[in-house]
Amino acid sequence: MKIAIATSSSEKIQGIKKAFSRFFQVAETEILVYSSSTNSGVSDQPFNSETYIGARNRVDNIKKKMQNCDFYVSCEAGIESFEDIFFNVQVICIFEAKSQRYLYGKSAGWMIPSEDIKIIKESNLDNYLKRKGIFRIEELLGPDFSRNEAIAQATELALYRCK
């Protein structure tokens, strides 16, 4: 199985590879991964639909760079809002070459204090967290809620349509 992933982040690659291994019940060594950073075409801190657009743009860009893969995958972190409630989520977009269709999945989200959204909009969520002394999401949410696992969750939720 050949997968092109639109990132150079080892954490994202590990989460995606883990999800494909679990979903298709194959060893991770049977999955060939090609990865490259690609442009999302959206702001550094996407909100709402911009997160999904960025994920799809990254997939379309990796498809131009790498050919003959079974799947093309991207992950875009973004903030979703409803009224005065904000959640950080990981959105996965997968292009399945065999069916020629896009598949989407989303992780569970963690709530961001609404009073801090203005600060995040002026910069981005990563910078905001670093200023608070948080350098890995596990420091905020605990070891069971790593970024790697959130990405794996979103990837598996997108892949369910492959069955």
In-domain check, residue 127: no
In-domain check, residue 95: yes
- What percent of the chain clears pLDDT 90, i.e. is strictly above it? 72
- Long-range CB contacts for residues 158-161, cutoff 8 Å, separation at least 24: 158/92, 158/93, 158/94, 158/103, 158/104, 158/105, 159/19, 159/20, 159/23, 159/94, 159/103, 159/105, 161/101, 161/103
**CA distance linking residue 148 with residue 54, whole number of Å:** 19
pLDDT of residue 135: 76
In-domain check, residue 130: no
How many domains, the chain?
1
Domain with residue 73: its CATH number is: 3.90.950.10
Residue 136 confidence (pLDDT) above 80: no
Q: Is the pTM of this model over 0.95?
A: no
- pLDDT single digits (tens) 98-120: 999 999 999 989 899 999 898 89
In-domain check, residue 122: no
68: phi > 0 → left, psi -120 to 50 → alpha, else beta; which? left
Q: Give the range of the structural domain holding residue 71, as residue numbers without chain letter.
A: 2-112+145-162
Which of the pair, 126 or 16, is modelled with greater confidence? 16
> How does 8-24 read in b/e, with b if 16+ C-beta sit within 10 Å?
ebeebbbbbbbbbbebe
